[in-house]
Amino acid sequence: MINFNYETDFNIENEDELATWITGVISNEGYKLEEINYVFCDDEYLHKLNLEFLDHDTLTDIISFDYTVGKLIQGDIFISVERVEDNAKDFKVDFYKELQRVIVHGVLHYCGYKDKSETEAALMREKEDFYINQLA
């Protein structure tokens, strides 16, 4: 089950389509969905989580808490809509494309992909692009 929660005025209009897409990503990667909770919030909300749980005093677009057991995906993904808007402007891309990238980015982490090294980040970006193109 995929749940969309809002701690800001932002709302996703196509929740069912996105949930089907996310479930397909998980299945395609050889995993099974248990539950993912997406929480869309503002910078202040996510910054507090970043300080409290990760001891990072920075703004970020996404924080994910992974409760995956084996091949059963579970987790909470917090996304700052403000940060996604700013990143979309900075990267000169459509807001919804950047939002899709962040949404799938969290799921790919749950599927075992990392992005700490250049090689890992390149593979992550390749996977993000692949799945975003499937949604288009």
- Indicate the annotated binding residues: 105, 109, 115
Q: 86 CB contacts (<8 Å, ≥6 apart)?
A: none
Tokens 């499937």, residue?
134
* Known binding-site residue numbers for Zn(2+): 105, 109, 115
Q: DSSP letter string over 38-98?
A: EEEE-HHHHHHHHHHHH---S--SEEEEE--BTTEEEEEEEEEHHHHHHHHHHHT--HHHH
Burial class from Cβ neighbours inside 10 Å (0-12, 13-18, 19+) for residue 34 reads: middle
What's the chain's length in residues?
Answer: 136
